[in-house]
Amino acid sequence: MSAQGVGLVDYDEAVSRFDPVLGLEVHVELNTKTKMFSGAPTEFGAEPNTQVDPTSLGLPGAMPVLNAKALESAIRIGLALNCSIAERCRFARKNYFYPDMPKNFQTSQYDEPIAFDGHLDVDVPASEDGSKPAFTYRVQIERAHMEEDTGKSLHVGGSTGRIHGAEYSLVDYNRAGIPLIEIVTRPLEGTGDRAPDVARAYVAALRDLLRALEVSDVKMEQGSLRCDVNLSLRPSPDAPLGTRSETKNVNSLRSVERAVRYEVSRHAAVLDAGRKVVQETRHWHEDTGLTTAGREKSDAEDYRYFPEPDLVPIEPDPAWVEQLRATLPEPPAQRRKRLQAEWGFSDPEFRDTVNAGAVELVEATVAAGAPPAAARKWWTGELSRRANAEGVELSALAVTPAAVADLQALVDAGTLTDRLAREALDGMLAGEGGAAEVVAARGLAVVSDESALVAAVDAAIAANPGVVEKIRGGKVQAAGALIGAVMKEMGGKADAARVRELVVERVGA
C-alpha cells in the first residue's frame, strides 16, 4: 500500500542503488513542574483541563513568562550536544490555526535558537548476525530550541476513533504549554545501508543523554520523547539531495528503525516508477508498519514568524553557562566505556547489562561492595527474570543495590549457597527485611556444624551400599547420589563442596 500507488522495493535492493540521507527532529518534553510560560502544573495523566491557567489556555489578556528551569535545561541539553549557546536569542510566534493550539500561534524559536552547531557521537552496534560491524557515527546537530507543546484532541464518532471519519473532537489543554526542546540534526549523510541502525542508535543515544541530564522522563510511549524522521534518496552520494518526506509520530526505537526502512523502500519504488517524491508529512502506523500521506508540504502554510513581543530577549550570562558546562554529567557513551573497563566485562556481558537497563544498578551494587561479575549476574539474571515476571522495571523491584550487595557478601562468606541466596531474595522481595534478617528468620544459613555433616554423610553411606560399592570400584561420579542424599537430609543448607570432600574421605576411595 502506497500513497503514490507504486508498491515497495526490497530494502537491500533499494540501498544498493540509492544513497539514503536522513534528518531527525526530536521533541523532548522537559520534566519541569510547571509549563514553559506559566505556573500551571504539568502532571501527566491528570483529569482533563485541570492543569491550566489563563496563559496556557490562551485566554484574552493572559501573558507568558519564561520558566527559568526550562531555560536552564535547554542550555544544558545544548552543552551536552556540544552546541554553541546563543549570546542573545529571542522567541518567535509561529502563526497557524489549529484547535489544540489555544492562541493559534505557537511560541517557539525561529532564527535565533538557544543552542546551535553541535554534534553527538553515536555508537552504532554490529548487526545481530555480525555481518555488519559496529561503528561510531558523528551526528551533526543543527540546533536545539525551546517551544511549547499543544493540547490533545480526542476524536469522537466514526468507526476507528481516529481523526478521519470523526464527527467531532474533544480537546484537553493539559498538555498545552508544556516545555519542549526540539533538537534538529543536519542531514545525516554516508550512512548507506546502515541508515535505519544509525537513526535508531541516534535516538537511543539522545534518550540516554537526556536521561543522564535528568531533564526529561524520555518515555517514548508517553510521548515525552517524539521523533520525526526525514528521509530522501539520491542516486549517488555525489548527487544533490533528493526530495524528502517527513514522517511524524515515530514513537519507539524500533519504529524509528522500521520507519526508515519503510520510507527507503517506498521512495525507491516511487523513483523507480519514474515519479517524483512528494514533499509531504507522513504518518507512521505502529500496527501496520506503514506510513501514510498527510499534509502536502508544497501547500505549506505561511507561518508568518515574527519576534514574540510578549517575551523579552534572552542573554545567558556566560559565567552561568560555564558553570552549567562544568556540572554536566559524564556523557553516557564515555561513562559506559569507563565502567566496562573498570568492571572487566566482555562486550556481550556489557551489552546484556545495558539491554537489561542495569548499568546504574550494577554500578550502585558494586559501590556497595559487591564484585562486578556477581552484581551483573544478579541484575541481568535472577532479578531481571523476577522483574519480567512481575511486569515492572528492574529499578522498581523491592530490593536496593545495597541489599543485593549484602546478599552477595553472605554468598562470598560461604554463609549462603546460590540456591539459599535465591531463597533469601524471595524473603527480601517479600519485604521481610535485609539479607541477614531473612537468613536468620528463615533459617537459611549453610550448616557449618562439622559433626552434623559427618553424621549425615555416614548415614547416607550406610543407606546406599550399592553406590558405595560403585565409588570404591572407581566410579567417582556416583558420589553425586550420596551428595544429593546428604543435601536433602540437610534441607539444602550445606556447602556442597564440603559434603563432596567428606563423602570421598568417609568412603575411603
Partner 1 sequence: MSTPVAELVRWDAARLSQALRAGVVSSEEVTRAHLDRIAAVDGPTGDPDGSGVHAFLHVDAEGALARARQVDADRASGAELGPLAGIPIGVKDVLTTRGMPTTCGSRMLEGWVPPYDATVVRELHAAGLVVLGKTNMDEFAMGSTTEHSAFGVTRNPWDPTRIPGGSGGGSAAALAAFEAPLTIGSDTGGSIRQPAAVTGTVGVKPTYGAVSRYGLVALASSLDQAGPCARTVLDTALLHAVIAGHDPYDSTSIPAAVPDVVGAARRGADGDLSGVRVGVVRELSGEGYEPGVLARFAEALDELRAAGAEVVELSLPNIVHALAAYYLILPSEASSNLAKFDGMRYGLRVVPDGEHVTAEQVMRATRAAGFGDEAKRRIVLGTYALSAGYYDAYYGSAQKVRTLVQRDFTDAFGKVDVLVSPTAPTVAYRLGEKLDDPLAMYAGDVATIPANLAGIPGMSLPAGLSDGLPVGLQVLAPQQADDRLYRVGAALEARLVAKWGGPLLARVPEWKGVPA
Partner 2 sequence: MSAISRAEVEHLARLARIDMTDEELDRMAGQLDAVLDAVAQVASVVTDDVPATSHPVPLTNVTRPDVVRPGLSAEEALAGAPEAEDGRFRVPQILGEEA
* DSSP code, position 313: -
Measured CA to CA, the distance from residue 158 to residue 147 in angstroms comes to 33
Query: What's the closest the beta carbon of residue 326 comes to partner 1, in angstroms?
Result: 29
- Residue that is written with C-alpha cell 517527513 in the block: 246
315 binds partner 2, rule: CB under 8 A: yes
33 binds partner 2, rule: CB under 8 A: yes
SS3 label, residue 19: strand
Beta strands (DSSP E) in 259-335 are 280-285, 290-296, 306-307
Total of chain residues touching partner 1, rule CB under 8 A: 29
* H or E element in which residue 368 lies: none
Residues 70-109 touching partner 2, rule: CB under 8 A, are 70-71, 88, 90, 97-100
Residues 49-108 touching partner 1, rule: CB under 8 A, are 54, 57-66, 93, 95, 97, 99, 102-105
* H or E element in which residue 98 lies: none
Fill in the per-residue mask, 293 to 312: x = in contact with partner 1 (CB under 8 A), - = not in contact.
---------x-xxx--xxxx
Whether residue 261 contacts residue 196, with contact meaning beta carbons closer than 8 Å, is answered with: yes
Q: Which entry of partner 1, partner 2, none binds 61, CB below 5 to 8 A by partner kind?
A: partner 1
Residue in 15, 24, 28, 40 binding partner 2, rule: CB under 8 A: 40
Q: Which is nearer to partner 2, 172 or 489 (CB)?
A: 172
SS3 label, residue 20: strand
212 binds partner 1, rule: CB under 8 A: no
Residue in 61, 68, 393, 431 binding partner 2, rule: CB under 8 A: 68
SS3 label, residue 399: coil
Fill in the per-residue mask, 421 to 460: x = in contact with partner 1 (CB under 8 A), - = not in contact.
----------------------------------------
Query: What's the closest the beta carbon of residue 313 comes to partner 2, in angstroms?
Result: 5
Measured CA to CA, the distance from residue 265 to residue 233 in angstroms comes to 10
Q: At a CB cut-off of 8 Å and minimum separation 6, what does 242 contact? A: 21, 232, 233, 234, 267, 271, 277
Q: What angle do CA 359, 360, 364 make, to 5 degrees?
A: 120
Closest CA to 38 of 59, 12, 23: 59
Q: Which entry of partner 2, partner 1, none binds 58, CB below 5 to 8 A by partner kind?
A: partner 1
Whether residue 171 contacts residue 100, with contact meaning beta carbons closer than 8 Å, is answered with: yes
Total of chain residues touching partner 2, rule CB under 8 A: 65
Q: Which is nearer to partner 1, 38 or 384 (CB)?
A: 38
Q: Which is nearer to partner 2, 239 or 300 (CB)?
A: 300
Residues 229-248 touching partner 1, rule: CB under 8 A, are none
Q: Which is nearer to partner 1, 170 or 367 (CB)?
A: 170
Measured CA to CA, the distance from residue 250 to residue 90 in angstroms comes to 29
111 binds partner 2, rule: CB under 8 A: no
What the block records as the C-alpha cell of 444 is 537459611
38 binds partner 2, rule: CB under 8 A: yes
Whether residue 368 contacts residue 405, with contact meaning beta carbons closer than 8 Å, is answered with: yes
163 binds partner 2, rule: CB under 8 A: yes
Whether residue 296 contacts residue 280, with contact meaning beta carbons closer than 8 Å, is answered with: yes
Q: Which entry of partner 1, partner 2, none binds 162, CB below 5 to 8 A by partner kind?
A: partner 2
Query: What's the closest the beta carbon of residue 173 comes to partner 1, in angstroms?
Result: 8
> Dihedral angle at the C-alpha atoms of 73, 74, 78, 79, nearest 10 degrees?
-30
Measured CA to CA, the distance from residue 428 to residue 211 in angstroms comes to 29
Q: At a CB cut-off of 8 Å and minimum separation 6, what does 392 contact? A: none
Alpha carbon separation from 405 to 367, 377, 434 (Å, rounded): 9, 12, 11
Residues 264-283 touching partner 2, rule: CB under 8 A, are 281, 283
Q: Which is nearer to partner 1, 304 or 338 (CB)?
A: 304
Q: Which entry of partner 1, partner 2, none binds 230, CB below 5 to 8 A by partner kind?
A: none
Query: What's the closest the beta carbon of residue 276 comes to partner 2, in angstroms?
Result: 22
Whether residue 251 contacts residue 283, with contact meaning beta carbons closer than 8 Å, is answered with: no
Residue in 14, 22, 67, 378 binding partner 2, rule: CB under 8 A: 67
Q: Which residues bind partner 2 (CB under 8 A)?
A: 32-34, 38-41, 47-54, 56-57, 65-71, 88, 90, 97-100, 150, 152-155, 157, 162-163, 166-173, 248-249, 281, 283, 294-295, 301-302, 304, 306-307, 309, 311-317
Q: Which residues bind partner 1 (CB under 8 A)?
A: 54, 57-66, 93, 95, 97, 99, 102-105, 169, 171, 302, 304-306, 309-312
